[in-house]
Each structure stands twice: as C-alpha cells, then as structure tokens.
C-alpha cells in the first residue's frame, strides 16, 4: 500500500478507511484528502494533507488510487473534477452505494480504470466486509491495490457481475442496521417480559455481539450453531417456533432485503 492515495470525502466510512490505512503502515505523506467541510480537522487528526477541493490537490501529487467516499447523491457534481487522473496507472475506487461503473465512466472517460465497492460500517472497528466489481480497464495490479486498501478494514470479496452489487448492498451494506434493530427489539421484548430497561439493553447488546463473534470463529455454519443451542422442547425451541413460522423472520427479512435492493437500483446513475 505504498502508492499515493487521493481520498475524496472523509465522513464516517472515509475516515474508517483512512485510519485503517495509517494503522497498516501507509505513510501520511502518501495521502491527500479532499474534504471541504472539515479540512483543518482532518489534517490535525490524521496528520495527512487535506485540501478543500480538487483544484487544490496540485499537479505534484500523482495518485495511484482515487477513492470516492462521498454521498451517492453528490457524485455527479464531484466526480468530473477528477477526470484528469484517468488513464495511465491510476484506478478509481468508489464506495458510493448504488452508483454504477457506467455512471463514473460518463464523468471520467472510457479510459478510466474503475472499481465499484460496497463496504459496511463495521469497518470502523476493522471488522467490515467489502465486495468489489471492476471494469474491463482495471488491471490485476490495480485490483490488488484496491483489495489491499479495503482489506485494511476487514474482509474483501469480488464479483464479476455488477448487477449483484445491489443485493450485496442490501445484505451487507445495509445489514448492520438490521443487527442494531435486532438489539433494540430484543431489549424491548425483555422489558415487556419484566426486565429493567438497562439490564434488558445490556443483555440484548451482549447476546447479539457475542453470538456474532461466535459465528465468526466457529467452523460450523449458522444453522448448526442454532441447532446446538436449541434443546428439544426447551425455551429456545419455543421462541424459534414463532421466529421460524411461515410468517416469521425469514419472509420479513426477505422483503426487507428486496426493498433495499430496489432502492440501490434506484440510486444508480
């Protein structure tokens, strides 16, 4: 990861990536951040060069990777300013939900090497997962650069069919919110059963986070882990009869992911 990086946007996900790169040994001098709203704060916190707009980057800084980490709704306004970097060895890496490779090619030109990526918010603690898709202009070395940058905050996988990125967004990109909602719902259910609100919240948070860590470390799949904790005729089995009913959690989750997938497609440029 010794190549120069131009990070466009330093919100939550951009900041998580930046912190991960620096922890992995990227030199602060190899990173320039474009952040119009918090320029001084970014420079002070991370020790990198931060500028307010593309025009202030300067010709002396020649990035190997331009990372777009701005809101998808603002990408049409932001991306054209970086078209001068297209061609050569520079690769453009976007983490904007829903924005297609074609939408970037319209702004950056047909010679641009473009990687579309979908990370998720556990990247903030180094436990994210990102799925990527590259266009035909992206070479192996450019893919490797993007992979290394994203691996600084978690696992990385690739798909060849860009159409799958909408489902990826719905499952893993939006997925952390589903887990947080589960904590909320489990805590409220505990209160309804008579627990103190504080205790119910602690139990719910620890149970969901601990179960996630167990699932991460276990060799067994999720179904096996579920069966392992379910005694016939016991309390867990009674709860699962509700959650696994025909109108239970699975159809609800399927509808939720379908709604998120549809929204991802609608955001596409």
- For residue 3, the model assigns a pLDDT of 85
Instruction: Show the tokens assigned to 227.
Output: 């069966």
Q: Mind listing the pLDDT tens digit for each residue in 213-228?
A: 999 999 999 999 999 9
Measured between alpha carbons, how far is 222 from 38 in angstroms, rounded to an integer? 42
Same domain? 41 vs 147? yes
Same domain? 230 vs 157? no
Asked if residue 25 has pLDDT above 80, the reply is yes
Please return the burial class of 100, using the count of CB atoms within 10 Å of its CB with bins 0-12, 13-18 and 19+.
Answer: buried
Q: Mind listing the pLDDT tens digit for each residue in 2-20?
A: 589 999 999 999 999 999 9
User: Which residue in the block uniquely carries the two structure tokens 């799925």?
Assistant: 131
- For residue 37, the model assigns a pLDDT of 87
The total number of structural domains in the chain stands at 2
Q: Mind listing the pLDDT tens digit for each residue in 41-81?
A: 999 999 999 999 999 999 889 999 999 999 888 899 999 99
Q: CATH number of the domain at 123, please.
A: 3.40.50.720
User: Which residue in the block uniquely carries the two structure tokens 């096996």?
Assistant: 224
Measured between alpha carbons, how far is 170 from 104 in angstroms, rounded to an integer? 21
Distances from the Cα of 222 to the Cα of 106, 164, 201, 268, angstroms? 42, 23, 24, 33
Q: Is residue 211 part of a domain?
A: yes
% residues pLDDT > 90 (the chain): 91
Q: CATH number of the domain at 197, please.
A: 1.10.3730.10
Neighbours of 263 (CB within 10 A): 15
Domain-terminating residue out of 133, 165, 197: 165
Q: What is the mean pLDDT of residues 225-249?
A: 97
138 touches 113 (CB < 8 A): yes
Q: What is the mean pLDDT of residues 144-161?
A: 97
Same domain? 24 vs 131? yes
Asked if residue 269 has pLDDT above 80, the reply is no
Measured between alpha carbons, how far is 115 from 258 in angstroms, rounded to an integer? 24
Q: Is residue 141 part of a domain?
A: yes
133 touches 159 (CB < 8 A): yes
124 touches 107 (CB < 8 A): no
Domain-terminating residue out of 165, 184, 204: 165
Q: Is residue 207 part of a domain?
A: yes
Which positions ≥6 away from 21 have C-beta within 8 Å?
1, 5, 31, 149, 152
Q: Mind listing the pLDDT tens digit for each residue in 157-209?
A: 999 999 999 999 999 999 999 999 999 999 999 999 999 999 999 999 999 99
Q: What is the mean pLDDT of residues 118-140?
A: 96
Same domain? 101 vs 229? no
Instruction: Show the tokens assigned to 39.
Output: 């320029």
Same domain? 207 vs 108? no
- For residue 79, the model assigns a pLDDT of 95
DSSP 173: I
CA dihedral for 189, 195, 198, 203, sign (positive or negative): negative
Q: Is residue 170 part of a domain?
A: no
Average pLDDT over all residues of the chain: 95
Same domain? 112 vs 140? yes
Same domain? 120 vs 201? no
Domain-terminating residue out of 165, 183, 208: 165
In this prediction the pTM is 0.90
Nearest Cα to Cα of residue 1 among 138, 153, 136, 120: 153
Same domain? 160 vs 205? no
Domain residue limits at 261: 175-267
Q: Is residue 111 part of a domain?
A: yes
Same domain? 10 vs 65? yes
Same domain? 155 vs 194? no
Q: Is residue 201 part of a domain?
A: yes
Same domain? 144 vs 202? no
Same domain? 28 vs 115? yes
Q: Is residue 139 part of a domain?
A: yes
Give the confidence band of 97 by pLDDT, cuts at 50, 70, 90.
confident
- For residue 2, the model assigns a pLDDT of 54
Q: Is residue 216 part of a domain?
A: yes
Q: What is the mean pLDDT of residues 24-29?
A: 94
């Amino acid at each position: 990861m010794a190549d120069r990086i131009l990070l466009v946007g330093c919100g939550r996900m951009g900041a998580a990536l930046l912190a991960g790169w620096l922890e992995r040994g990227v030199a602060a001098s190899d990173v320039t951040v474009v952040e119009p709203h918090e320029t001084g704060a970014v420079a002070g916190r991370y020790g990198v060069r931060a500028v307010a707009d593309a025009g202030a980057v300067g010709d002396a800084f020649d990035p190997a990777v331009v990372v777009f980490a701005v809101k998808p709704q603002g990408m049409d306004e932001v991306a054209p300013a970086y078209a001068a970097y297209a061609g050569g060895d520079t690769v453009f890496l976007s983490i904007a939900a829903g924005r297609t490779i074609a939408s970037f090619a319209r702004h950056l030109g047909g010679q641009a090497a473009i990687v579309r990526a979908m990370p998720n918010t556990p990247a903030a603690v180094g436990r994210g997962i990102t799925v990527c898709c590259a266009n035909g202009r992206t070479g192996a070395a450019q893919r490797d650069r993007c992979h290394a940058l994203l691996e600084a905050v978690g696992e990385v996988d690739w798909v060849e069919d860009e159409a799958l990125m909408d489902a990826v967004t719905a499952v893993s990109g939006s997925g952390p919110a589903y887990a947080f909602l589960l904590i909320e719902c489990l805590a409220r259910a505990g209160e309804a059963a008579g627990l103190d609100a504080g205790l119910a919240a602690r139990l719910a948070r620890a149970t969901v986070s601990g179960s996630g860590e167990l699932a991460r470390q276990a060799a067994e799949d999720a179904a096996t882990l579920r069966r392992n904790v379910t005694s016939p005729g016991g309390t867990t089995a009674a709860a699962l009869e509700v959650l696994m009913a025909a109108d239970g959690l699975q159809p609800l989750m399927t509808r939720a992911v379908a709604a998120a997938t549809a929204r991802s497609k609608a955001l596409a440029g």
